[in-house]
Structure 1
Amino acid sequence: MDRIALLKQHLETSPDDPFLQHALALELVKMGDDEGARASFERLLSKDPTYVGSYYHLAKLLERTGHTDEAIAVYERGMDAARASGDRKALGELRSAYEELTM
């Protein structure tokens, strides 16, 4: 069974598991399914806006696919979430990517 099928199977029994949703989105990115990956990241962040790592990956996907304004907004939301959780490492990574895109 491939990784995507396995992750989807696990998500059937644990649909609210943010790690599984994040892992699925990353696998979809690897497979070139940007639309599916975006939907997965957005689903995850709508259910769990504190899952800070997904903001970076979603914003990078949006940036790569030419959705610059949306990427900027996701970086900003991610920085807010990182600040709120006290995750300085994630905040630094998000800020660096944001500044690189906006300068």
Structure 2
Amino acid sequence: MDRIERIHQLLEKTPKDNFLRHALALEYMKVGREQEARGLFENILSEFPDYVGSYYHLGKLLERMGQPALALEWYTKGMAAARLAGDKHAYGELQAAYEDVDE
């Protein structure tokens, strides 16, 4: 059984588990299923805007998909969420990603 299939099985039991949904999005990215990964990240963040780790990965995915302006928007939202959470490490990573975006 591959990782994607295994995560799907686990999500059947706990469909709103953000750790699993985030992990599934990362697995989708690895195999080139970018739209599915994007949808998962966007769903996580629309439902749970304090799930700080997904902002970085969504931004990187959007950059890879040729949407730097949208990536900047998500990095900005992520920095605000990280600031609210007091997560200086995540804030720094998001800020560095923001500053590295080529528009």
Question: TM-score range with shorter-chain normalisation?
Answer: over 0.9
Deviations 1:21-68 (A, max 9, x none): 000000000011101110111111112111111000000000111011
Q: Which runs of 5+ in 2 are unaligned?
A: none
Counterpart position of 2:49 = 49
Letter of the aligned partner of 2:6 in structure 1? L
Q: Which runs of 5+ in 1 are unaligned?
A: none
| Alignment match, 1:36 | 36
Shift of 1:12: 1.3
Give yes or no for contact 2:68–2:102 (8 Å, CA) kept in 1.
no
Aligned to 1:2: 2
Q: CA RMSD in A?
A: 1.2
TM-score, normalised to structure 2, is: 0.95
Displacement after TM superposition at 1:102 (Å) = 6.0
Q: What is the total number of aligned residue pairs between the two structures? A: 103
Q: Deviations over 1:62-86 (max 9, x none)?
A: 0111011110100000000000000
Partner of 2:82: 82
- Worse-matched range after superposition: 38-47 or 18-27: 38-47
Which runs of 4 or more aligned residues in structure 1 lie more than 3 Å from their structure 2 counterparts after TM superposition?
none
